[in-house]
Amino acid sequence: MHQSFILAAIEEARKGKGKTFTNPLVGAAIVKEGKLLSLGAHLHYGESHAEVNVIKNCSSPEELFNSTLYVTLEPCNHQGKQPPCTQAIVQSGITTVVIGQLDPNPLVAGKGREFLQKHGIKVIVGVEEEKCRA
């Protein structure tokens, strides 16, 4: 079940190809009760990350309550050109986050997962990890 939605997020990530340097390609999907609600990607360097875009792309904030976020790369938990994605996730009402791969960047490197877990969000890591790295 997780594989099909993370694969949709991988496909969505490709929309940012050639536009996000120096950031990696990242895609995301929001699912509730087995239904795909929204897709989002990081589309341009310095602009909103995939997690924020997928939340914005939902038709209503109520849809997010008790939903699952699938994301190809661990959400950031630091302030850069954009605010931390982890805060947007916590505030949204999403209750589960499925991460394709943990971010090897020392600024993130497990800190996003830890922040989400401390805020009561269930986190699953390593779904289609090799494909998420490609």
User: Which residues are catalytically annotated?
Assistant: 51
Contact criterion met (CB below 8 Å) for 128 and 7:
yes
Secondary-structure percent of the chain, ordered helix, strand, coil, rounded to 5 = 35, 20, 45
Contact criterion met (CB below 8 Å) for 15 and 39:
no
Q: How far apart are CA 19 and CA 33, in angstroms?
A: 33
- CB neighbours (10 Å) of residue 133? 12
79: tokens are: 């302030």
